[in-house]
């Protein structure tokens, strides 16, 4: 059975995704927690085991979060934040 420390929250907003040897590209966030995010983008569009930088806006604040792509499937790509994001968690509580 899968165990999560943070609840996933459905969302719909733009995310800019980049890594060291690529330009930024746009994706849509599908769900979000303080530990990670699912984005709607083709499974082969992001390299695995490469440090990514995510840029997104929540409640008027811009976030830059480092993450890794950890799984991909029909529903999108799952990204794990390299550190928990308590500020993101607080925003989620405000918009839930």
Share of the chain above pLDDT 90, in %: 42
Distance CA 92, CA 35 (A): 12
Q: Does pTM top 0.75 for this prediction?
A: yes
Percent of the chain surpassing pLDDT 70: 91
Task: Give residue 5's pLDDT.
Answer: 64
Q: What pLDDT is attached to residue 17?
A: 95
Residue-range domains of the chain with CATH: 9-95 (2.40.10.220)
Q: pLDDT tens for residues 48-94?
A: 888 999 999 988 889 999 999 998 988 899 999 998 777 877 776 77
How many whole angstroms separate alpha carbon 43 and alpha carbon 59?
A: 28
């Amino acid at each position: 059975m899968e165990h999560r420390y943070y609840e996933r929250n459905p969302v719909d907003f733009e995310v800019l995704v980049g890594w060291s040897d690529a330009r930024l590209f746009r994706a849509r966030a599908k769900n979000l927690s303080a530990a990670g995010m699912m984005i709607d983008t083709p499974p082969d569009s992001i390299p695995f085991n490469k440090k990514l930088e995510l840029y997104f806006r929540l409640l008027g604040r811009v976030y830059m979060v480092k993450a890794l792509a950890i799984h991909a499937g029909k529903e999108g790509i799952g990204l794990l934040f390299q550190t928990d994001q308590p500020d993101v968690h607080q925003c989620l509580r405000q918009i839930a």
